[in-house]
Structure 1
Amino acid sequence: MRLATWNVNSIRTRIDRVITFLEREGIDVLALQETKCRPGQFPRGPFETAGYELAVHGLDQWNGVAIASRIGLADVATAFPDQPAWSRKEGAPAVVEARALGATVGGGPGHADPVRLWSLYVPNGRDLTHPHYAYKLDWLRVLRDDVADWLARDPDQALALAGDWNIAPKDEDVWDMSVFEGATHVSAPEREAFDVFARAGLVEATRERVTNYTYWDYTQLRFPRNEGMRIDFVYGSPAFETRVRGAAIDRDERKGKGASDHVPVIVDVA
């Protein structure tokens, strides 16, 4: 199983790049984030022509997650239990945003053993005093508690949490820590929230296998200067980690016209 995760920053804008990437890299399963469309707007045709089943979750032009699989797709969930909600405007009702999508991929005749995959788009946080920052930490806390419960009930399951975590967990994951002083993504509570998944029994599958940034802002020539951040990761349960054989970060997908500001992260699973 060749599994990838990619914040595409609008699937309708980048559908041709995504399909080309799938075919070029032989991707079996792709977790997508920031698709920025409702299910009825999602460009299903090119995926289906290429042989992929789809699970799609989106509410409007913000956020949005999806999973594409050519090796089976079942048991779709459009939120994890008790996923926190967010209100975009003061006084407006809070909504459980389209930031998490779970599905079982693989399994069945001729396919890899199944993996329970979650495509995650963790809230940004905005700034350290913003309510969105508290929302981000609460979102991660609830997810962590759910993961601990899932593994307690089935410690042998191959579970993978893949996506844009909006956290740079180590200093080397940003080009210059002084630029981020007092900012989100590198604060101690965010890094603690990221690390607690490891203490819950998960293993981050890419760090020991490949090093590179996964995000470069569009402004200030960040990509040509390699002023990036590493914020896209794949956390896996022990049963998943034992099957991991390699990983890669496709930096070339940040090049050229119409690139997303993130690049794909790829994990090869036996």
Structure 2
Amino acid sequence: MLIATWNVNSVKQRLEHVLRFLDEARPDVLCLQELKATDEAVPALEIEAKGYNLAVHGQKAFNGVAILSRFPLSDIRRGLPGDPEDIQSRYIEALVSAPSGRVARVASIYLPNGNPTGTDKYSYKLRWMERLAGHAAGLLRLEEPLVLAGDYNVIPDARDVSNPEAWVEDALFRPETRSAFRRLLGLGLTEAVRACDDKPGLYTFWDYQAGAWQKNKGIRIDHLLLSPQAADRLTGTEIHRHTRSWDKPSDHVPVSVTLDI
């Protein structure tokens, strides 16, 4: 089972890119973030015409997450539990049922950016990460293949950024952010890319400004975290960096994991 994640930075503006990636990579599951569209505005007909089921948790102009699957989706949860007053559409989860009868639980996550630090935006980011850890702990008790995929807005380590000094005070690289991410992994989750490849220079995001893509000044903030039952089935990962060179691309590229399911 090939499961991919991609912050598309507007699903309507990048629809042709999404359809091209579906044709090219043939993912069984694709988690999308930053749809910037309501449920009704997501181009479902075009996606379904490619043979995908669709679960959406949208929001007008901001945020928005979705799960596209070649297999049936069930037990769909929209929104991260733990704060009934949080109206931002940043989390969707579903059970994917493969033809073999095996299942995998998949979540599409758009974790808050948190900038600028020292503001309510950063406090919200850290609280959101605490809520995610609490929910993930409950999911892990189900003892099933679980993939928490998405744009985490977290640079885990200095090797995950081309110029660490430039990001020291950024919410994506602050010590509190990285500690919260490590606590998440400490629940028993495996970070798929690093389980397969330990070298520096693996990036998933290049800013639109200052020629970041051309100079390869990137960061790695898109992650797939696996439960032990999923990690045991891990056979490979890929960062699809060539998509960043497409016409009018997202500033993120897809990242995929292959599981023996």
TM-score bin, normalised by smaller chain: over 0.9
Distance 1:160 1:57 in 2: 18
Deviations along 1:92-113, whole A, 9 cap, x unmatched?
Answer: xxx4210000011123xx2462
**Aligned residue in 2 for 1:186:** 173
CA 1:176–1:112 in 2, change beyond 3 Å: closer, same or farther? farther
Q: Are the equivalent residues in 2 in contact too, given 1:204–1:233 (CA < 8 A)?
A: yes
Aligned to 1:136: 125
**2:43 matched residue in structure 1:** 43
Query: For each residue in 1:71-130, what CA deviation from the matched residue of structure 2 results, as whole angstroms up to 9, or x when unmatched?
Result: 121111101221475xxxxxxxxx4210000011123xx246211111000000012211
TM-score, normalised via structure 1 length: 0.92
- The amino acid across from 1:117 in the alignment is V
Instruction: Give the match for residue 196 of structure 1.
Output: 183
Q: Which amino acid aligns with 1:168?
A: I
Q: Which residue of 2 aligns with 1:166?
A: 153
CA contact (8 A) 2:57 2:79 kept: no
2:39 and 2:131 map into 1 onto residues whose CA distance is 26
Determine if the alignment matches structure 1 residue 103 to structure 2 residue 90: no
Letter in 2 for 1:20: R
Q: Distance in 2 between matches of 1:243 and 1:65?
A: 26
1:238 corresponds in structure 2 to 228
Deviation string for 1:23-55 (max 9, x for gaps)? 111211000000000011000111111100000
Deviations 1:176-212 (A, max 9, x none): 1111132211111100110111211111111132452
Task: Report the Cα distance in structure 1 between the residues aligned to 2:236 and 2:253, rounded to whole angstroms.
Answer: 17
> Does structure 1 conserve the Cα–Cα contact (< 8 Å) formed by 2:9 and 2:36?
yes
Counterparts of 1:220 and 1:193 in 2: how far apart (Å)?
30
Q: What CA distance in whole angstroms lies between the structure 2 residues aligned with 1:84 and 1:198?
A: 25
User: How many percent identity over aligned positions?
Assistant: 38
SS in 2 for 1:39: coil
Deviations 1:235-257 (A, max 9, x none): 01100111111000000010031
Supply the distance in 2 between the matched residues of 1:244 and 1:96 (Cα, whole angstroms): 34
Distance 2:246 2:137 in 1: 41
Inter-partner Cα distance in structure 1 for 2:220 and 2:241: 11
Matched with 1:17 is: 17
Structure 2: gaps of 5 or more residues: none
Contact 2:189 2:227 in 1 (8 A): yes
8 A contact 2:33–2:63 mirrored in 1? yes
Matched, 1:63 2:88: no
Q: CA RMSD in A?
A: 1.3
Task: Give the alignment of 1:185-224 within 5 angstroms.
Answer: 185-210=172-197, 212-224=202-214
Aligned-partner SS, 1:67? strand
Is 1:79–2:79 an aligned residue pair?
Answer: yes
For the pair 1:258 / 2:255, whether they are aligned, the reply is no
TM-score, with length taken from structure 2: 0.95
1:137-187: CA deviation from partner (whole Å, max 9, x where unpaired)? 0000011012112323x2x21111000000101001111111113221111
Residues 80, 90 of structure 2: 8 Å contact kept? no
Q: 1:213 to 1:83 in 2, by over 3 A?
A: farther
Q: Aligned pairs, how many?
A: 257
TM superposition shift of 1:59: 2.2
